[in-house]
Chains A and B, each alone.
Chain A
Amino acid sequence: MSKQLFERPTITKLTPGVPSKHGAGTVIAPMPLIDGVKVDDLIEQYGSPVYVFSERTIRKAMEDIKRAFSLRYQKVQMAWSYKTNYLDSICRIFHKEGSWAEVVSGFEYDKAIRNGVKGENILFNGPAKSALELEKAARNGSFIHIDHFDELFMLSDICMSKNIEARVAIRVNMDIGIYPKWDRFGLNYENGEAWDAINRIMNNPKLKLMGLHTHIGTYIMSVDAYRIAASKLAELACSIAQKFDHYISYIDMGGGFASKNTLRGAYLSGEDTTPSFEEYAEAITSAIINSQIKPDKLPTLILETGRALIDNAGSIAGSVLANKRLSDGRRATIVDVGVNLLFTAFWYDHKIHPVSNHSGLVEETTIYGPLCMNIDVLRPSLMFPSLKRGDRFVITRTGAYNNTQWLQFITTRPNVVLIDQNRKVHLIRRAETLEDVAANEFIPEYLG
């Protein structure tokens, strides 16, 4: 007979009668396994906390998005958004699934090349490309997505002086009826800058206009916004065809599809409110198909979806460090995962599951990270069971941005593991050591 479960007694308000608007109380399911592998085993072997990725979930997400789009449109190409997660193993899974690379810096560009992506399969985005990076991208035949006129002029100069040709697209921003308007990246559609840039590119013999790109925002919950954006790009494509008899090769709709995480302050759970890939696909593809573009000239549709593909595949497993009562009587639980490791805690109400069974009683709790900083709050308030020191938990849907925006702060960053399709666990990034962190430092002689 197993040992009876003990939890510290708590006092909860009894609310008889009909359930409140929040429903019949919170049930937090325990999560002993991640993709079929015991969390306890993972922590014992790789320490706490540990980042865990599921290859099966990644491939499933790719399959879902490819199916959703390819059932509706003939030519679809995915491009993996490096900034969302550029752990090499993760990128390579996406490349194996047929994704190109979408990079926004020279560093990411080199990373993509190192991962075996052909230069002609890299989309180079971002507002801060250097002259050397532009030249390299042009020589490799990568698609350079022009963000502003200064970049256009710089690229033109490079191509003229070095006598090379560049394949370019322009990033277009536009009013699609949602707030906030993302007009800081790319050239505006309504004020004519985009058309101006197109004309300059078309008249430049060294620049070849390959496509049009837009990225309307992040975590966009309205599929209509995509419909509008796609039809505006299609209109631009038609104007180009009409004026220059030139047919662009692709329309890049960027990313921004919402993952199933719940945004901070959202009333309903993300699982219920975010559109499915099918809905996004229907809006985008029908806008392009129904445009004036001739059927045999339909461009390839490129998607740079990052978040919606990787968020669900990543989790962080950690342990409780301590519990305490706050001044207002609320319980606080301190865990070993801080905002330095879970940057997205600022955006999302991440779900946290205890690993072991619990009594089912929950209490309003604040969850703090281990940093000695006031901002280190994972969840300001959630209904959570009582966990003891040493109890383990899993934070789900942490795959996007956390491994690129994480901070080496106060302590070093932990191991990252990947569970492959056969449920075998691989270490894909080992925990940092003091030597790693100090390796780049130099001490002037007089301090030696």
Chain B
Amino acid sequence: MLKTSKLFTFFQGVLRSYSQIFFSESYWFAIPLVLVSFLDVSAGFSGLIAVLTANTAASLLKFDKLTILKGFYGFNSLLVGLGLGYYFEIALVVIIMAIFSGFLTLLITITFQGILGKYYLPYLSIPFLICIWIVLSARGMIQGIESNQSGVYLINKLFNIGGNPVVSVHQWWVGTITSNFLNSYLLSLGAIFFQFNVFAGIVVAIALLFYSRIAWVLSLLGYSVAFFAYSFLGMDMNQLGYSYIGFNFILGAMAIGGYFYIPSRQSFFWAFAITPIIALVAAGMLGLLKPLNLALLSLPFNVVLLTFIYSLRFRTVPSNFKEVQIQEGTPERNLYSYQSFIKRFPNFGWLPIKLPFYGEWLVNQGHNGDETHQGEWANAWDFVIVNNDSAQFCDEGNFCTDYYCFGQHVIAPAEGTVVIVVDGIEDNPIGQVNTQKNWGNTVIIKHAEGLYSKLCHLKKGSIVVKAGDTVHYGQIIGKVGNSGRSPYPHLHFQLQATPYIGSKTLKYPLTAYLEDGKEIKTFSYPLKEQKVKTMEENILLKKAFNYMPGTQLKWSIKTPKGKEKVNWEIFTNAYNKSYIYCNSTKSVAYFQNDGVYFYFTHFDGDKKSLLHSFYLAAFRLPLVFINGYASTDSLPVNRTFKGWRLFLHDFTAPFYLYLKTNFEVSMTLIGSEFDVDCFDYKSKLSGYSFRRLVFSKNFKLRVNNNNSLKLINENLQIEAVCEPY
């Protein structure tokens, strides 16, 4: 078992080396590519040997398994092997050369991984370029290699592959399809695999279309821009078709438009705009390389792409042209995940900082306030307490003690260490300010490197912490006062990057609060005149969704077909991401729990499994109970649509998403406040195409007070019960 799985992994690595040439990790996409590479048997064979060599060597030398598996170590060797087999007729000496050059390419690959990796840059096909130049230049020294002539005798080659029918199809093509544009596009696609015929091009184009619509459109875009640029500039059109230059534009457009950047209007613009530059570089490089007798190959693409990616990192504002952070494998996946991610987690990765008080307060001055929150101190909040008539005080408000907030507890907004305490400044009489010591009595807490919170205008003598104390969230640190530049009692709260009094403010969101008594906010910025309150967590729900690694979920499922049992287990991966693993279907569902919501972030595996139903039903569940609250979210389109709808949608996706999947969940409490029997979540998925409802799915999830779960998928009539865990 173990052995076969090892062999399978190795096999996957080899296959993916083929798809990696198109920046893909899909191994079924590799199958047509492998076939294409064998159109020229010599090239195909030599390429396979080179990639086998590289991947075997990488495995034996214990290089990173995942990198091998994804084909990153293999694809340059593959290209070298293909080139070798293309230029030289396959023979023992060529096989030996393929082995050596495959290994050499691996070494060069790893070297460039090291060099460029420091700059977070990809090595692209640079190792291939270096190695193929070396190998081709070495040909004069090595005896017994024959030039491969099959490229010249195309008909012979086609006959060898498929006999007369193939030849007649070829004749028909040559006779009928005379479009220079189409033919040289297909030739360029084939040329990527050193296959110099339209058949290879057609297979690659179709495979590419099924692998990714966006990539396919981009390949066409890059090529057509180049084609028209060449015709416009009156450059030699033959270069495009017949000397391995065309694919530079194809790969360049794909890389910029959809692989290294999130597909969007901007990325398409750059895919478009970069093409003439590649053309310019190609023309220039051709001149430079001629004396050395080296082929241009993919050099222009490599040079331009590296320069482009590297220099664009120095932009001060990333705008909407964003680099892909987590590579998911296809432009579509990157796009849909990104779209969903920025909507769902606009402030992902922040350290949770909560409101520094209990109960409901009013934001009296928000960021960029009219009064004092300006310039370098713009990102701060002032909080006060008001009654239902919006008054901050009772009686006449002539004394500090008339103000509702005066003397209320100020708590640590997150855990940290107290770094500065200032006390002893008198509380001002109402209406007067102390501009000498304008921050008044202050506590500064360090939460992380470069993240400090500052609480100001505290009551004289009320501060109960001292510098060096560690504090936890909710710990009382003092009381609201009226010291410093404060004409009436209020609490000034800001986050800053440096530990000093008077440091400039840092724009940083607050989490887990209720806005105006109805809207749950996570990582957001309270605005002026909003009433805010820290959320009360629900113990039962918190416990129910607190999945720790090792937790086992044992489900009994009742379907129209019969009964079965499945087991799930919780794991946490190396990147600290937790997921549920279904033992029977091998599906995984990644989740996260921020104390306010339980979210699923990703699903892989069997879409008929119970885990997939659970993933949909619990895509986003509030863990706090607010009567009548409905939470909404939207699922990535590619997780909920399939078939032709999704296929067509991919074409417009970078520009306009007309498919949409909305998620809505409402919750009800069953039992009474003190005796909660269970919480019922009702979730509904609605898929829309141009605002027309295409499908809807309904789920019910019940969380019982003994920690057992019940999940009902109304559409599939599945009812499943999970034992208490």
Contact = CB atoms under 8 A, between A and B. Distances in A.
B464 interface: no
Interface stretch (A59-67, A147-155, A333-341): A59-67
SS class of chain A's interface: helix, strand, loop or mixed? Answer: mixed
Contact of A72 (B409, B674, B675): B409
A408 interface: no
A70 B387 CA distance: 13
B388 A249 contact: no
A70 B674 contact: no
Interface string B661-679: 0000000000011110000
B594 to A, nearest CB: 17
Nearest to B386: A67
A200 B409 CA distance: 40
A120 B672 contact: yes
A296 interface: yes
B387 A67 contact: yes
A64 B387 contact: yes
Interface in A395-424: none
Contacts of A89: none
A300 B672 CA distance: 13
A72 B359 contact: yes
A75 B536 contact: yes
B359 A249 contact: no
B672 A59 contact: no
Given A59-B388, A71-B385, A72-B409, A249 B674 contact: yes
Contacts of A120: 672-673, 675
Contacts of B536: 74-75
Contacts of B357: 71
B387 A71 contact: no
A86 interface: no
B672 A67 contact: no
A67 B385 contact: yes
B388 A71 contact: no
A296 B539 contact: yes
A141 interface: yes
Q: Size range of the interface on A?
A: 20 to 34
Contacts of A75: 536
Given A59-B388, A63-B387, A71 B674 contact: no
A63 B407 CA distance: 18
B358 A71 contact: yes
B248 interface: no
B272 interface: no
A167 B675 contact: yes
A67 B674 contact: no
A53 interface: no
A278 B406 CA distance: 11
A80 interface: no
Given A71-B385, A74-B536, A75-B536, A210 B359 contact: no
A74 B358 contact: yes
A278 B357 CA distance: 16
A250 B675 CA distance: 11
Contacts of B409: 71-72
Interface string A62-105: 01100100111111010000000000000000000000000000
SS class of chain B's interface: helix, strand, loop or mixed? Answer: loop
A74 to B, nearest CB: 5
B675 A70 contact: no
A235 to B, nearest CB: 21
Contacts of A296: 539
Interface string B644-682: 000000000000000000000000000011110000000
Nearest to B357: A71
A286 to B, nearest CB: 10
Contact of B408 (A60, A71, A121, A249): A71
A96 to B, nearest CB: 13
Interface string A34-74: 00000000000000000000000001100110010011111
Interface centre among B359, B385, B675 (most CB of A within 10 A): B359
Nearest to A63: B388
A210 B674 contact: yes
Interface string B529-560: 00000001001000000000000000000000
A296 B541 CA distance: 13
Interface in A331-359: none
Contacts of A208: 675
B359 A71 contact: yes
Given A71-B359, A75-B536, A300 B385 contact: no
A70 B360 CA distance: 8
Contacts of B388: 59-60, 63
Nearest to A297: B539
Nearest to B388: A63
B472 to A, nearest CB: 10
Contacts of A211: 674
Interface in B378-405: 385, 387-388, 404
Contacts of B675: 120, 141, 167, 208, 210, 249
A358 B360 CA distance: 45
Interface in A178-218: 208, 210-211
18 contacts: A60-B387, A67-B359, A67-B385, A67-B404, A70-B359, A71-B359, A72-B358, A72-B359, A73-B358, A74-B358, A77-B673, A120-B675, A167-B674, A211-B674, A249-B674, A250-B674, A296-B539, A300-B674
Interface of A: 59-60, 63-64, 67, 70-75, 77, 118, 120-121, 141, 167, 208, 210-211, 249-250, 278, 296, 300
Can you list the 9 inter-chain pairs with the closest CB atoms, starting with the nearest? Answer: A71-B359, A249-B674, A120-B672, A70-B359, A74-B536, A63-B388, A71-B358, A71-B408, A296-B539
Given A167-B674, A300-B674, 9 more contacts: A59-B388, A60-B387, A67-B359, A67-B404, A71-B357, A71-B358, A71-B360, A74-B358, A296-B539
